[in-house]
Amino acid sequence: MFQELVLGSYKINRAAFLALLTVAALIVAAALLLWRGARTGVAIIARSPAENAVGVPGLATIRVRFDRPMNLSTAPEISLTPAVTGTVRWEDDATLSFRPSTALLPQTAYTVEVESGLQGEDGRRLSRAQSWRFTTRSPRILFLSWDDANRVQLYVVSPQGGEAMALTQAPLRVLDYDLSPDGASVVYSNERQDGGSDLWQVPVDGAEPRLLFDCGGDYCIGPSWAPDGERLLYERRAIAAPGEAPGPPRLWWLIPESGETSPLFSDDQILGHAPRFSDDGSWMSYVVPLVQAVQLYNFETGALIEMPNEIGEPAAWHPWRNVLVNNDIHFQGESFSVHIFRLELPAAEATDLSGQIVTNDGSPSWSPTGDWIAFARKPPGTAAGRQLWLMRPDGSQTRALTDDAQTNFGPPAWSPDGSQLLSQRFDITEPGGEPGIWLVDVDDGKLHEVAEVGFQPAWLP
């Protein structure tokens, strides 16, 4: 027989009383959860790269996603150790990103820290700093070469050389390519049977390529990624009928995620090729074939600046400043040279970096830290091959890295750590000789062969 208890004027048994207490406890617990939930701070629900990730690309963008819309007027801070400079921005109302100014060091463990105090739209805050670690991968090298069927394919190889891995097995030749800003994939142009070319995308880990954009019989080449990685520019040339030569070049946008494409300029009379972006994406440069110039276009203001350029080489942008270098013909009395010029925006005054010498300079390339410029030089009017040189951004401290008149070196590309230059190299005394891929040590000029046969090399951090 249950005991009876008296509550007020009611009589209840012991079991009913215990049940009543349980219900009351649940109500109190729920109220406590609601009270604590109202005071809970902002939480991070996703990180990229993931915590303890290994083999992370040196070009990776660091991202954190919060559990609610954030107050975008707050000044966020993301820091890396070892220290790295870069740009912090809100990608949407809940995703914060940090894009390094230069490639991260290879095979290095980094710690990411997100400062406390970031505030959500609802007033809640990130109560304490959040941190995690990841490790970068070893750098590799991309290049073009011929397969066993004499078709040009895209390859990747270690800087130490060895067996290269083919990223493509295209039925016709690969024409050119560009690495995505995050270092995860390559967009390349692939020739078609009808004389046109399409744009394809392939992951650098060797997965299957996919058709990115069918150009419908036109000739589409020269892809160039915008810094944010959300879209790219490419050069499109119409082909009136199969077998006919492509028409003049025009620049078009492509959004890889959707395949949407549109002309860069509404005026279809504006021609251009070899587009290049400033680091912050506010400016772009492109070569204008008819007026022999490189034009600079500002996306925000619509400003257009023209740099004389009779050589046709694209400009090279500083790693993080709106400064660029380019080469052009320089007349000295009755003789002429090809000099390298520096232009700082928004001013349009060019500075001659080659000095008062008769020379043929070209293919300038900024070091990752922006404190050196590598370039190719040869004496004009001679059969000597181009050699690799260095100079400061003001044209001082010029010195040669290579000295072999029988060898020609192509455009240099800096290693992510700034210790080496990557270049295409061939012997000009050997008729029909094939180019190879080589590394040059910046300190002492020592040469290292990467691939016996190859061209158009680029770093894959």
CATH number at residue 62: 2.60.40.3710
**Residue type present at position 149:** A
Give every residue of the chain whose pLDDT is below 70, as ranges.
Answer: 1-40
Residue after which a domain boundary falls, among 136, 156, 180: 136
pLDDT (0 to 100) of residue 344: 93
pLDDT (0 to 100) of residue 37: 41
For residue 284, which of 262, 261, 317, 259 has the smallest C-alpha distance?
Answer: 317
Q: Are residues 35 and 48 in the same domain?
A: no
pLDDT (0 to 100) of residue 398: 97
pLDDT (0 to 100) of residue 10: 45
Residue 316 domain-assigned (yes or no): no
Residue 203 domain-assigned (yes or no): no
Positions of E strands within 230-346: 232-237, 250-255, 260-263, 273-277, 283-288, 293-298, 304-308, 316-317, 323-332, 335-344
Q: Are residues 122 and 52 in the same domain?
A: yes
For residue 285, which of 261, 314, 246 has the smallest C-alpha distance?
Answer: 314
Residue 417 domain-assigned (yes or no): no
Residue 99 domain-assigned (yes or no): yes
Q: Are residues 51 and 108 in the same domain?
A: yes
Q: Are residues 48 and 110 in the same domain?
A: yes
Residue after which a domain boundary falls, among 114, 136, 158: 136
Residue 129 domain-assigned (yes or no): yes
Residue 149 domain-assigned (yes or no): no
Residue 341 domain-assigned (yes or no): no
- pLDDT tens-place string over residues 183-222: 999 999 999 998 899 999 999 998 999 999 999 989 999 9
Residue 92 domain-assigned (yes or no): yes
Going 350 to 351 to 353 to 358, the CA torsion angle's sign is positive
User: Residue 32 sits in which domain range?
Assistant: 4-39
| Residue 401 backbone class (left: φ over 0; alpha: ψ -120 to 50; beta: rest) | alpha
- The SS3 of residue 24 is helix
pLDDT (0 to 100) of residue 29: 45
DSSP 2: P
pLDDT (0 to 100) of residue 22: 59
* Domains in the chain, number: 2
The gap from C-alpha 82 to its chain's centroid, in whole angstroms, comes to 21
Q: Are residues 112 and 54 in the same domain?
A: yes
Whole-angstrom Cα distance, residue 220 to residue 259? 14
| Helical residues (DSSP H) of 6-142, grouped into ranges | 14-39
